[in-house]
Each structure stands twice: as structure tokens, then as C-alpha cells.
Structure 1
Amino acid sequence: MENIAGHKSALTWVTRITVLILVVLWLIPTVGLFVSSFRDRDDISASPWWQAPFPAEQTFGTRVAGEAVQEGGAFVLTGSIYEGSDAQVGAKVVAFGISRSDPTGITAGESVDLKGGGTLTVNGDGTFEMRTPEAPSAKGQRVYFAAAVPPEFTTGNYERVLYSNGMAQAFINTFTVTIPSTVIPILIAAFAAYALAWMEFPGRGFLIAGIVGLLVVPLQLALVPLLRLHNDIGIGQSFVGIWLAHTGFGLPLAIYLLRNYMVGLPKDIIEGAKVDGATDFQIFTRIVLPLSFPALASFAIFQFLWTWNDLLVAKVFLPSDSESWVMTRKIADDLLGSRGGDWGILATAAFVSIAVPIAVFFLMQRYLVRGLLAGSVK
């Protein structure tokens, strides 16, 4: 029954379910970053992102002080516990305490005995009443309380990232690095791929094997030697240096993808053009290159995403002054600081930095699969 028209095999459904599971697994952290980008640091520390729509319990500290009123044989001080604290008005007090070791030991609405005599009562709406046998000191009584803070979303993180000093220059620098570092490898690799696919010359097989071997070489091994070479030839840490670095690191994959695609083009077209007297350059520019656009677009997506999101190569091959920073370095070294503990800024910066790569990917994604599958079947 599986091979009858109109019936799909069980393997098809397994494949679809697997793809759906993978998509969901990728979307979960993305949604988490998106939600966190609209929350401040305290909210992120208080509750996970999936609890963002619900009130989160946070602990605050303050001192209750003021002018007490004498009633009978006691002094009574009333007011709001929110005054002098970071808690927003409207948060519901859940519990409170008067010692740092047990800041939430008393349920809201109950009373606690003070060390110097008297009692303190904190209600759920934040109002308090303190009764003491003597007038309270001007310093006030230290009080800790836990409050259920309602959710609050803000665009402050985006304003801080987008309007930070130097972000516009970093955005321009990122384009300055990414566009040439994408175009140059494609131009060089296209010529090399055509030669390896359709031109006969000694050592072609060894060159192809060498290119495949270079795919597994980690770029970290070449950073220091390549930087020394740049210093020796006089380009040092500059935009030209990082263009050449990205070109060298991207060429093996570019040549491999393009060669696999070009070798699968119809042989009759190439041979017919040669019979008609076309040169290799004419065949390449008028026949092979237009037909290889899916593979070119496929590599362009990979190279653009890699260079746009790169931090390591940018820190090695660009000058250290802030005028030459790309967005990844601006975010890592300036906005996040040395510890990088501000998760709200980190999540916001992630979405700001991926806006352009996402646009490029959706514009060219239809060519991605065609380019990756080039040469896989005959």
C-alpha cells in the first residue's frame, strides 16, 4: 500500500515530524531571546522568560522612618513600604522580615516583634504600621520584603543599543568588512572552480584533494601566522587585511561548492560552445557563470552570515581603536562590558545584529538548497 499513488510512506511522516521537532527546538531559544530583549535585568534574574507574562516575586530592602504619632502609651508610625525602595507601586507584598538572614519569614498582614520592643505589621498593599514604646530613631527600622511585581516590558534595551555612542559607525564598519569579504572570494572561487571542473592540466586531482583537506583546518591555527605575514608585507591590522583573511578562510568552501555545481552542468553545452570556437573565458562568463547562480547565491549566504557575525577575526585583523569596531565587537567590548552579565542588552543586541543577515537569508534562501545539493546526484 505504501507504493500506491496517493499514499505516503511512514518514512515521509517520520521525516516531517523530525523536521518539525528540529524547527521547534531552534525556535524556543529564539523566542526566549526575543522576550528577554524587552525585559530589564531585574526581571530576567527574577523569573525565566516563559513566566514573563506573569507576576514575578522579587525581594527588596528599605527603611521605615518618619514622624510617629503618640497614641496612649505607644508611638505609632504608618506609611507605605514602597517609599525608599526600588519596588514599583502596585506590587503585592507577599512576605517581609527585619533581618537579612530571614528577609521573608513573616507573611504579609501578620506582625513581627521588634528587637527594641514594639511590633511591625506590613500589609499586602504595601502599607505598614509600626508600634514602639519609644519614639523611633531618625535612621529608621530596616525592613525586607518580597513582592509579586507585575510584568513590565520596555523598549529601553533597544534604545540603549541603537542609540549608543558609536553604534552607527560600527554598523557601517560591519558592512565595510562583510561586502568585500563576500564578493572577493566568490570572484576568485568562480574562476578556480571552472578550471578544476572543465579544464585539463597536470596536478588537478591533487589541487582538488588539497582544497577538500583545507575544509577541515580550523582557522584559529592560521590567525597568528597570517597576522605576522600581514605585518611583514605592510598591511597589518586594516580593512584590507581582514578582507584578505576572510577571503583565504572562505575560499576552500567556495571552490568546493562551485566546482561540484559546475561539474554537474550539461557537458554537451560546454563542448558545443568549444566547437563553435568559444574560448574558456567566453564559456565561463556567458554560459557557466549564469547557470551557476544558485551555487553562487548559496555560498554568498554562508559567507555573508559568517563575516557579519564574526568577532574573532575582527579582533585580530582590525585596529583596536573604537572607530574601527564592527557591531560584534561594539556589543561585546562596550555594551556588555568585561563580564557580559546584562542579559537584556545581550538579547537585544543579538536581534539588532541579526536583522540584516535574516533579510539576506530570506531573499536568497530559495537558492540555498539547490546550491548545497549541487553534484550530490547524477
Structure 2
Amino acid sequence: MDNIAGKRSSLTWIVHITVAALVALWLFPTVGLFVSSFRTGDQISASGWWRALGASEQTLTFRTAAPDTQVEEGGFYVVEGNLFEGGDPLDLRAWGVSSREVDAFRTGDTAELRKGGTLTLSPDGGYRMENTEPFSGKRGQRVFVSAVVPPEFTLENYNNLLFKAGQGEGMGEAFINTLTVTIPATIIPILVAAFAAYALAWMEFPGRALLIAIIVGLLVVPLQLALIPLLKLHLGIGIGKGYLGVWLAHTGFGMPLAIYLLRNYMAGLPRDLIENARVDGASEFQIFTKLILPLSFPALASFAIFQFLWTWNDLLVAKVFLIDSTGQTTVMTARIVEMLGTRGGNWEILATAAFVSIAVPLAVFFAMQRYLVRGLLAGSVK
């Protein structure tokens, strides 16, 4: 009696826990990128994103006033001021005058300076530098301060990344370039594959079974095998250095999956519907445009999700077919790789760039995810 159809399994709770764990594994990094994209570099270095709402202890760098502000008092040359001048006061924990010992002193202590003289720091950030000889140099003494900093969120990361090319390395332009590559590379294979899928599903012609077998075989062919021959072909006909070449490359690589997916879905549509339309005098083109396409929207949306995600996150095809030494056609994935080398220490910029790169695919997926399962199950049940 334990195997009666419709009886809930006693292991259902294991399935629920597994699904919850998989969702958490996917959700936590995404939330982490989102939170980190609004934090400063010092905050990211000091604490994890899960502590973003609480204060964190950070090591900050300040400079005293320049030597040209010194005054002579009782035989000593003195420079006075406040490290927090113009900003909010901080809860000081320790300080130092060397990067090797950033917490060597407590507030109220006096430190010996390497170039002569002393420095005393008070809890409110006020300092006093004294020396029997005049202070020299153009810049003030560097002071490292360990302090408790309240949480801070800013939009400056997005401003630097998208609108300031000097700091974001043209990520705004790369965002537009990625859209320029992705949208046509998603629409073109859908248009072409829809016609081919209808022909393979409902039109009788010699060699149809062989064509279907070839399409299934192309599904397992690695695209890396075709990169060099296809690039030589594109260069030979003059389309290997721009958007047209990468559009056609993505179309060719995505066509087998598109035709296979759409053909299976169209073949599962009611035959009586097609035959009645033919009896009523509808042409094949009218049947395709007025019946098949509207009914096949779940499969079209399902492939659109896959194709959009693949082309948006693609690096290899863009590197091969978008040959541009000026960087005017660089896509986001290539720009992020470049930023790893030039801005590897700017975690706030990298986190923002990563979240921007996944924001659009997430929006597309959640907008069309209800059609995903219906499209993937196309033709599986008759």
C-alpha cells in the first residue's frame, strides 16, 4: 500500500530541503554582489556584505597639515589641526605613523616621527606636532587610524562605472555594445529557426528525416571547432571586424538548438487544427504566421531566454569576431576581464560591474520564466 499512485512520499522533505539549499546557493552570491555594489572599498575590505548594516572597524589614512602651516612657540615648531576637519568625527581605537604598525598607539599617546619631532593624537582627532627644528617637505605627516565607522551606502560606484569613462573604463559604452550584440543575436536565430522548424514539423519533402538527424548531431559539436574556419570565412568576405560577423556567428551556433526546440513544440500541436486551416484555404505562410507562431510562443520565449543569456555572458565569440583595437565595440564580459587587471584592488567597482552584468539577464529570466518549463517540455508528452 505504500506505493499507491498519488500518495505523497515520505521523502518529500528531503526534496524541499535540497531545493531550498540550491536556491540559497544561488541567492547568497547575488545578494552579496548587490549589497557590495553600494558599499565603499574600505567597507568591503573591513567586513563582509552580511554586516553591511552594522558599524565596522576600519583602518583609514589621513594627513596632517602641510609643514608650511607650522608656527614657532617657545622654541618649538608646532603644527596643529584635526584629522576629521570637514567630516564626521569617528570612534578612534588606535593609530600609527607607519604602515607596518597602524595600531601602535592609543589616543593620547605621543609618537616619535621618523624625520624628527613628535605627534600627539587626541580622541576627537585633534593632533599636535612638535619639533625643535622646522618641519620640511611639501605634504603633511601620514597618520593611520583604526576607527569604528558607521555603515554607509553610496551610488558613487554606479556613477563611476557607467558615466565616468576614466574611472569605470567605459563600462557604460560596453553595456550599450553588449545590448547591440545580444538583441539581434537573439532575434535573428528565432526568426530563421521558426521557419525551419515549421517546415520540418508539418511539411513533407525528401530528406526531412536526414535534416533532423543532422540538426540533432550539430547539438553536440563544440563551437570551438568552428571558430577559426568561420573567422577566416568572415575575414574573406569582409564581415569579420564588426557586429555583423558576431551576429551571424551567434546565429549559426544557436540555430541547432533553436530548430530542435521549436520543431518539437510545433510537432506537438493538434494536427486537426493545421488540416482544418488547409481545408479552409489558408496558405502555408498564413498557417505559420496566424496559427503556429502564436501557439508556439512558450517555445519561442524559452529559446529566447537561453540565447539571450548565452550571448550576453559570452566572451569567447566576442573576442574572436569583434576585432577592434580602439575598444569601441568591447562588450561587458571583455571589459570586466580588463578591469580585473587594471582595477583588481577596487572591489567596489568590480562588485558593481559584476552586478550590472547580471542585472539584465535576471530581469529577462524572471520576466519570461513562466514560459521556460513549458518550452523545455515541448513534445515530451503526446
Matched ranges for 1:1-378 at <5 A: 8-53=8-53, 54-60=55-61, 62=63, 66-67=70-71, 69-70=73-74, 78-82=80-84, 89-112=88-111, 120-129=119-128, 134-135=132-133, 137-138=135-136, 143-165=143-165, 170-273=174-277, 280-320=284-324, 322=326, 324-325=328-329, 327-328=331-332, 331-332=335-336, 336=339, 338-341=341-344, 342-378=346-382
**Structure 2 residue identity aligned to 1:183:** I
Q: Taking every aligned residue pair, what percent have the same amino acid on both sides?
A: 61
Distance 2:141 2:351 in 1: 39
Distance 1:210 1:222 in 2: 16
C-alpha distance 46-88 of structure 1, shift in aligned 2 (>3 A): farther
Aligned residues: 371
C-alpha distance 110-27 of structure 1, shift in aligned 2 (>3 A): same
**Structure 2 residue identity aligned to 1:230:** H
- Residues 310 and 328, structure 1, Cα contact 8 Å, conserved in 2: no
Summarize deviations over 1:268-308 as a string: whole Å, max 9, x none. 33445556665544443343332211101111122123223
TM-score normalized by the length of structure 1: 0.81
Q: CA offset at residue 244 of structure 1?
A: 0.8
Summarize deviations over 1:41-63 as a string: whole Å, max 9, x none. 33323332223332231143645
Summarize deviations over 1:190-230 as a string: whole Å, max 9, x none. 22222333344454444333323322333233222211111
- Residues 305 and 368, structure 2, Cα contact 8 Å, conserved in 1: yes
Distance 1:328 1:222 in 2: 24
Distance 1:141 1:186 in 2: 64
Q: CA offset at residue 260 of structure 1?
A: 1.9
- Residues 318 and 324, structure 1, Cα contact 8 Å, conserved in 2: no
Q: Which of 240-249 and 170-179 deviates more?
A: 170-179
Distance 1:137 1:323 in 2: 48
Task: List alignment gaps of at least 5 residues for structure 1.
Answer: none
C-alpha distance 195-149 of structure 1, shift in aligned 2 (>3 A): same
Q: CA offset at residue 370 of structure 1?
A: 0.7
Task: List alignment gaps of at least 5 residues for structure 2.
Answer: none
Q: CA offset at residue 372 of structure 1?
A: 1.1
Distance 2:311 2:362 in 1: 14
Summarize deviations over 1:42-99 as a string: whole Å, max 9, x none. 332333222333223114364576336339xx8876543457xxx9652222222344
Q: Which of 101-110 and 273-282 deviates more?
A: 273-282
Structure 2 residue matching 1:320: 3-state secondary structure: coil
* RMSD of aligned alpha carbons: 3.7
- Residues 161 and 172, structure 2, Cα contact 8 Å, conserved in 1: no
Summarize deviations over 1:97-125 as a string: whole Å, max 9, x none. 34443232233344556789986543333
Q: CA offset at residue 131 of structure 1?
A: 6.4
TM-score normalized by the length of structure 2: 0.80
Distance 2:33 2:161 in 1: 15
Distance 1:193 1:254 in 2: 8
Summarize deviations over 1:154-191 as a string: whole Å, max 9, x none. 21111123323566655554443323222221122122
Q: CA offset at residue 328 of structure 1?
A: 1.1
- Residues 92 and 147, structure 1, Cα contact 8 Å, conserved in 2: yes
- Residues 82 and 88, structure 1, Cα contact 8 Å, conserved in 2: yes
- Residues 56 and 151, structure 1, Cα contact 8 Å, conserved in 2: no
Distance 2:116 2:320 in 1: 65
Q: Which of 206-215 and 183-192 deviates more?
A: 206-215
Distance 1:116 1:326 in 2: 49
